[in-house]
Chain A
Amino acid sequence: MDEKIKPTKIIDARGSFCPGPLMELIKAYKAAKLNDIISVYSTDSGTKRDASAWIKKSNNELIGVFEHEGYYEIVMKKTKGEK
């Protein structure tokens, strides 16, 4: 990931199964402030798609999905307030 992007919050959901990492991400999103950057680590490959889709559908910004050794990192920016 770009060194300039510093997550406000990192969720380490490695070892957690679908839908665990997505649920953790949504919880963090609800607690976050506008423009916060949230990063989630996941070993569950379904989360890569699921979390990316959720971020786009909820009108937030998907900064990227990064593959590290043995896990994925999904990074989002909260650009949409709560309804």
Chain B
Amino acid sequence: MNDKMSIIAFSGTEDKLMAAAIIASGAVANDLEVQVFVTFWGLTRTIKNGKTTPDLSFDGQKMKDKVFALMKQKNVPNWITMLKNAKEVGNIKVYGCAMFADLLEVKKEDLDPIVDDIIGVNEFVSLSKESMTFFI
């Protein structure tokens, strides 16, 4: 049970955060311990009442309306719900980036409860040793 996966969720667009949440789900299904480090635009999407509207990354702009309409029609859960479901299956920890949280002056209580703690890069990297790591 020592296998680990680390995901740095840098982007704040729905497609990339969904990809992160789906990969994390696949990882816990395979008994990996997972840690997700939300930073920059990923972190802003965890801010409660943050007034950030879900968007798609540049590649998806032309299909944006269609994709969001289909996701709504087919009840596709958002990335936070996906991560919550994955947390019920295995060991996933979500960490907010201390540096960006400081810059935006947000504290742990300002973030969605999916975020377990706010930690710095040093702690995240030390926790990521010997894990496969993705930057999304």
Contact = CB atoms under 8 A, between A and B. Distances in A.
Interface of A: 15-20, 22-23, 26-27, 30, 50, 54, 57, 83
B133 to A, nearest CB: 20
Interface of B: 1, 22, 25-26, 28-31, 74-77, 82, 85-86, 88-90
A57 to B, nearest CB: 8
B29 A23 contact: yes
Given A16-B75, A20-B77, A50-B29, 16 more contacts: A17-B74, A17-B75, A17-B76, A18-B22, A19-B22, A19-B25, A19-B29, A19-B86, A20-B85, A22-B25, A23-B29, A23-B85, A26-B29, A26-B90, A27-B88, A83-B1
Nearest to A30: B89
Contacts of A26: 28-29, 89-90
A23 B86 contact: yes
A75 to B, nearest CB: 18
12 contacts: A15-B75, A17-B75, A19-B25, A19-B26, A19-B86, A20-B85, A22-B25, A23-B89, A26-B29, A27-B89, A54-B30, A83-B31
